[in-house]
Structure 1
Amino acid sequence: MLHNFFHVFSQPLKPPLFEPGELRFWDDPYISKSMLEAHLNQTHDGASRRNAEIEKTVCHLITSGFLKTGDRVLDLGCGPGLYSSKLCLEGMKVTGIDFSQRSADYARAQAKKSCHNIDYICADFFNIDYEGTFDAVLQVYGEICTFSDEKRDLLLSLVHRALKDNGVFVFDVSTRELRMREGRKNMWYFSEGGFWRPGRHLVLEMGFDYPENDTWLNQYIIVDEDGTVKVYRLWLHDYSFETISKTLEKSGFKVEQAWNSLSGELYRKGGDWIAIAARKA
């Protein structure tokens, strides 16, 4: 194991922009279990925002008129259905899509238990093929920030096609201010079992800044006890109001409203988040 520890540090440190890491993450049998637990944990906002904030978000989007009873809503990256279930209770017809089989199964089980008529699909949402189907598309907690420009533009084209005329895309993005305050520091530790693995392993956490691209990389190198090394990368492309507005305009959207949070905090420059309601032009 120590040999692999030193081997890791002998490699070039800063990866090329948006170079992928280990492909199996969201659907990894063990990590997906840890992710589901993090989604449901009410002591932190590690994977999902907590229930109180989710309820505030749903309430705000309804009172502001962007969502309403009877709407068909597509929840992209729905996870265990924390937003979808609340939208369903408000009389909306919801389709939730998530790449994690474990999260989708959990969401389906909860919907069945609560007699909620929600269509949960386990799939890569880059493969969606809807046309003029939804009144609104929802994607929360900065997921759009995790994509390269090319994949982001592909996603926006798919969302635009899936929306009805005058439909609305509601989402949020992180800002450079948040990244500079919360960017991960370099560290390493041994674990007897935790988020990444059930058994003993070494974790190397590295943060890399790409300021010319407003992009940050959180990289996690996991060295198992048998010497296996896997690299997981979470890319985060941050935005300003100006950059996200121009991006949306190029993809056929017009920003109708912006906030500092999806729960309705008034927009002020310099906040950690920018929440957007963009209308299909």
Structure 2
Amino acid sequence: MLEAHFNQAHDGASRRNAEIEKTVFHLITSRVLKKGDRILDLGCGPGLYSSRLCFEGMKVTGIDLSRRSIDYARAQAERDGHDIDYICADFFNIDYKETFDAVLQVYGEICTFSDEKRDLLLSLVHRALKENGIFIFDVSTRELRMQEGLKNRWYFSEGGFWRPGRHLVLEEGFDYPENDTWLNQYIIMDEDGEVKVYRLWFHDYSLEKISRVLEQNGFRVENAWNSLSGEFYRKGGDWIAIDARKV
């Protein structure tokens, strides 16, 4: 996973550097984020956004469940002289109260949660934000998933994302349109015969639906774009990026 975060050939675990730079530039030039703001980066990975925001004069706390990503981020911050508080933890266990000016969660991670987990996260974010604080995130739309389609294939790998050694991958997709939900299932078989199954769920949103969810959880949509890099919003885009204000 750590290697995938840095791979510039695809957007497997993180978006590529050029898009990350555009996102940070947009959030700063649009005054959504400002020098001196205190930022909470949820699912920060190896600090690709946190480090850039710190460089722009913000006080950043990054939280991620991956020990390797956090260890890398801490080492990088030390090398660069960045004062960033990196924490290896499940962000569903955060317990901040009116601490941050903004909370950031990028690359559609909110789409991987059930409605119950999503609302729990929103309650934790709401509590962590100062008065009039903002939650910045993006969600995928059904249009993106329709473009990607349902995978039904198998392939052999000498080593890669799922395993460092040789393995077989059986991939199959399932669509539940009544719930705007998709499942990508991966069955991985190692050379020694060990089999593991990974299921990745995605709940897609329209602007109307995510706006209702936010209103029900104490937020108001301030701005909507088709990407966190500031692409002008149009219905039917692949992504919806949101700047939501705590109310």
Match for residue 97 of structure 1 among 58, 63, 88: 63
- RMSD across aligned C-alpha pairs, in angstroms? 0.9
Runs of 4+ in 1 over 3 A off after TM superposition: none
Structure 1 residues 1-281: aligned runs within 5 Å = 35-281=1-247
TM-superposed deviation, 1:190: 2.2
TM-superposed deviation, 1:45: 1.4
- 1:126 maps to a residue whose letter is F
TM-superposed deviation, 1:43: 2.0
Alignment partners' CA distance in 2, 1:70 and 1:59: 16
Alignment partners' CA distance in 2, 1:56 and 1:179: 24
| Structure with more strand by fraction | 2
TM-superposed deviation, 1:219: 0.8
- 1:183 maps to a residue whose letter is G
Consecutive unaligned residues of structure 2, counting only runs of 5 or more, are none
Alignment partners' CA distance in 1, 2:168 and 2:14: 26
Consecutive unaligned residues of structure 1, counting only runs of 5 or more, are 1-34
State the SS of the aligned residue for 2:26.
Answer: helix
TM-superposed deviation, 1:201: 2.0
Q: Number of residues paired by the alignment?
A: 247
1:4 matched residue in structure 2: none
Answer with 185-194 or 163-172: which moved more: 185-194
Alignment partners' CA distance in 2, 1:73 and 1:145: 21
Alignment partners' CA distance in 2, 1:53 and 1:200: 32
State the SS of the aligned residue for 2:240.
Answer: strand
> Which string of whole-angstrom CA distances, capped at 9 and with x for unpartnered residues, describes residues 35-86 of structure 1?
1111111222111111111111111111111100000000000001000000
> Which string of whole-angstrom CA distances, capped at 9 and with x for unpartnered residues, describes residues 188-241 of structure 1?
122232221222322111111010110111111112222221111111100000
- 1:237 maps to a residue whose letter is H
Alignment partners' CA distance in 2, 1:122 and 1:216: 29
Alignment partners' CA distance in 2, 1:255 and 1:262: 14
Alignment partners' CA distance in 2, 1:191 and 1:145: 28
Highest Rg: 1 or 2?
A: 1
Alignment partners' CA distance in 2, 1:241 and 1:123: 30
- Under a length normalisation based on structure 2, what TM-score does the superposition of the two structures give? 0.98
- Under a length normalisation based on structure 1, what TM-score does the superposition of the two structures give? 0.86
